[in-house]
Amino acid sequence: MTADIPLVNGTSQCTVTAHSPKSYQTCIEFYSQFLHLEPESVNAQSTVLRNSSISVSIVLREDANKQAESDARIKKLASERDTCDWRSQVSDSFVFKSADAASCRASLDAKFDNVQAYPTDLFPMEVYAVDPAGNVVGVTKTKNAVSARPTAPPLSAGTFTSNLPSSAQSTVGLDSTDEKSISLSTGVTGGDADSALKQKAIAVMTSGGDAPGMNANVRAIVRTAIAKGCRAYVVMEGYEGLVRGGPEYIKQFSWEDVRGWSSEGGTNIGTARCMEFRERPGRLLGALHLIEAGVDALIVCGGDGSLTGADLFRSEWPSLLQELKGTGKITAEVFARYKHLNICGTVGSIDNDMSTTDATIGAYSSLDRICRAIDYIEATAKSHSRAFVVEVMGRNCGWLALMAGIATSADYILIPEKPASSREWQDQMCDIVGKHRSRGKRTTIVIVAEGAIANDLTPITPNDVHKVLCDRLKLDTRVTTLGHVQRGGTAVAFDRILATLQGVEAVNAVLETTPDTPSPLIAINENKITRKSLVESVKLTKSVAEAIQAKDFKKAMSLRDTEFVEHLNNFMAVNSADHNPPKLPQDKRLKIAIVNVGAPAGGTNSAVYSMATYCMSQGHRPYAIYNGWSGLARHESVRTLDWKSMLGWQSLGGSEIGTNRCTPEEADIGMVAYYFQKYKFDGLIIVGGFEAFVSLHQLERARANFPAFRIPMVLMPATLSNNVPGTEYSLGTDTALNALMDYCDVIKQSAASTRGRAFVVDVQGGNSGFLATNASLAVGAQVSYVPEEGISLEQLSQDIETLAESFETAQGRGRFGKLILKSKNASKVFTPEVLAEVITAEAKGAFNAKSAEPGHVQQGGLPSPIDRTRATRLAVKAVGFIEDHQADICSARADDEEFDPDNRTVSVTATVLGIKGSDIVFSPIRQLYDFETEIVKRMPKVIHWEATRAIADSLVGRKKVESKH
């Protein structure tokens, strides 16, 4: 048989070079079999094989070294056949078009069994083999290289047989009398069938209420599965799709199917609440439909109800298969093949109500909508001196209301975890609101969670709150219910990154899970992606609601994670400020100063406000050093902070007390010490970036000469560069990421509309690639260049080639704008303008590039809710550190002769407050500065975001060139 096989790229001939006589002969045999070609001319050095459309020239050029390289490549590809997609491992390959890919596959004898077939070995649309010269050669029956639709009708039964039911049969009811059963008979024997069976098929579904970030989660799962050599499926419409089954609801997805999904809100694969799946017959149908599709691993993104259903599905899986086998719906062979179902959960819920994880996908996006709305409401409330009652979502969890209360300095919050009697909450609210009003506050914001209750389980509605404020305080009050606005819009940067990293980890989890391993839940604790037990997490979550219904509110609060309780205590302390008697006795009250050093960063004002109000509640006296160290040394810019003057600071960007990059030594450290001594400061909090880090080091080193610095000192890192040693998170990074992400989304839309255009975006960050790396992950940038790697000509050439291939396959389709992010210090030669010109020139008309510079827009406007709430949490911890370590160093201030600056008890009192992995840590400045810092580069020695770079590159198919240096 001679098939009509023209080259996909339109050329009519190609040449294959063999490097040994043996390889030469087997190449002739291979291409004759695989492509059904006939010899036209044959001699000892060259052979031409052809049919009516193409010709393949095979040339012998003996070279022992190159033959050894070919043999090594063949061996490597053979070892990765079942675990890795060859197409991702080679820079190029031969691909031919054929209406009969299965025939090409079947024509190879056992000698050439090194083959990969897509989407399955049962019905291949693409077949790839490794020829004896080490080349990857493929045939496809699709329209083009990235299409998922064949150009010819399905194969006849006589060509390639299978007992697998058709799509029409796949939705047959379980009580049907149809005698057909699912079988693994393929018509292919030996190792080829085994290879198809070993290839993992991973499906993802979204279930329950939609949440921003779900699309990013699906994108990451699909692309990671494909990159790891697995088949990727999506289940449309949640559990409803499992019950209905068939190719309409369980679809195989390709790499391109999820392009651009990160920036889209909701879930593109649909979600629905399915009553049928709650019953065993519905789950039985779901099991049958998964087997029909060949799926053996399922990742569910949803809330506690969806994940409960997933774990129940896995626990029942053996009995479900036994029942299907008993009724003849599946064969014994299928039963053995699919006897285990690996399930993994990622939590998509705006309520953030899942125990064991600090954040769920969509929660911070919803919080962002709430804070924006309240920020807008604040303006009109101030104009009319009104009170507003704002209802937010949160049926059994008050996280949204609590965090919004902290982020917007709300006057009062009502949450289900901390109810009071009807009289108590009314008295408490009126007391606090009354004190705020009497001290000159013109606005009142009360936030009510939709699940708010009194301690007798009576619901507390916004109208109840409205009535109390009107009747008892005589306030002009309005009610605002935000409703589903909280679910809408695109995900914030944190949710996109969280969803992406959890999606990657979910694929790793299902590939590593054994039948004896409990179903994992992918969580995040502080800054670290972790795996938890799905069933235990769901059990803990449900027990909170049960405790509330049982009126055991103390237990309900104890079941919340410690961070929730900490946030609640912080809110109550910060909200009371100096309105109530101080908590500490007179002899424990301190004078604590705060100063901003370095460039402005989102959350800086929140840190100052929270530090000052918490100090007031404790009985301390807060001082602000205005305009940095130079303001102190030159103008004695020190003032105490009072509550009324700081109203609204929690929501403001920039720095209200002023900041600059001057260090104490540059300003005059002697004058700094003089004013410290004059005001008798007992503690210092520095908020800032690397200049603040250097400032703390200088003050700590100066303790031997200046007793005024012998006080506890804490640095709260705040810089969009995130380059302060001792922490993986800095205030301002989230605000900067959101500002940069919004900018990139807009210009990516422009690039997609123009067709054939890429934008080179200039990213701030100094010598740190953190911002560019994480923004790349959030917006799906094709390339990011960072100072840690620089820009090599080899890598630039490879990236241009990859971009050209991407635009060629796009064929004018939408959502195809390309972004290249370049950190400002990644290269002094390749500026964004130069880089854009080089790319345009090298593209030779295939596409063009333009430069874009967001500049100081990246510092952000209003700080993000994450930066606001973390600023509050860290500020309270910083004050606590000063309180706890006061006794360790206070006696040293007057004892010059006995003071030992190297004493560890003393040295640890100058510290950096940071987040590392899943912990909040205090790291002594001396240890960090001496051993963990690249002083010249202004960077930590350990780059904690390297793993994120690898993930960002893999999810866009970027090929990295290994450095030769």
Give the residue numbers marked as catalytic.
351
In the 8-state DSSP scheme, what is residue 82? T
Packing angle, helices 669-679 and 628-635, rounded to 10:
70
Q: Do the beta carbons of residue 139 and residue 33 sit within 8 Å?
A: no
Written as six digits, the tokens of 15 are 């040449």
Beta bridge partners of 17: 59
Packing angle, helices 669-679 and 690-701, rounded to 10:
80
Written as six digits, the tokens of 698 are 């200088």
Burial of residue 752 (CB within 10 Å: 0-12, 13-18, 19+) is middle
Beta bridge partners of 130: 136
Whole-number Å distance between alpha carbons of 368 and 364: 6
Please, which residues have CB within 8 angstroms of residue 192's CB and are 6 or more apart in sequence? 105, 113, 115, 121
Could you give the strand order of the β-sheet that contains 683-688, starting from the edge strand earlier in sequence?
A: 638-640, 621-625, 591-597, 683-688, 713-717, 910-916, 919-924
Helix boundaries (H) for 83-237: 101-107, 191-198, 214-227
| 341 to 146, 225, 314, 513, 767: CA distances (angstroms) | 30, 16, 6, 10, 46
The residue among 250, 778, 246 whose CA lies nearest residue 492 is 778
Helix boundaries (H) for 86-137: 101-107
Q: Find where tokens 């400032």 sit.
A: 695
Map residue 278 onto helix, strand or coil. Answer: helix
Whole-number Å distance between alpha carbons of 686 and 874: 12
Map residue 494 onto helix, strand or coil. Answer: helix
Instruction: Write out the DSSP string of 523-556.
Output: EEETTEEEEEEHHHHHHHHHHHHHHHHTT-HHHH
In the 8-state DSSP scheme, what is residue 900? -
Q: Do the beta carbons of residue 308 and residue 538 sit within 8 Å?
A: yes
Whole-number Å distance between alpha carbons of 549 and 860: 43
Whole-number Å distance between alpha carbons of 396 and 378: 27
The residue among 116, 94, 92 whose CA lies nearest residue 49 is 94
Cα atoms in the Cβ-side hemisphere of radius 13 Å centred on 324? 35
Separation of first and last alpha carbons in the chain:
52
Backbone φ and ψ for 505, nearest 5 degrees, come out as -65, -35
| Size of the chain, expressed as the number of residues it contains | 965
**Amino acid of residue 236:** M
Helix boundaries (H) for 359-492: 363-384, 399-408, 422-438, 462-473
Q: Do the beta carbons of residue 213 and residue 499 sit within 8 Å?
A: yes
**Amino acid of residue 92:** D
Rg (CA), the chain: 32
Cα atoms in the Cβ-side hemisphere of radius 13 Å centred on 5? 29
Cα atoms in the Cβ-side hemisphere of radius 13 Å centred on 129? 27
Q: Find where tokens 């210090």 sit.
A: 825
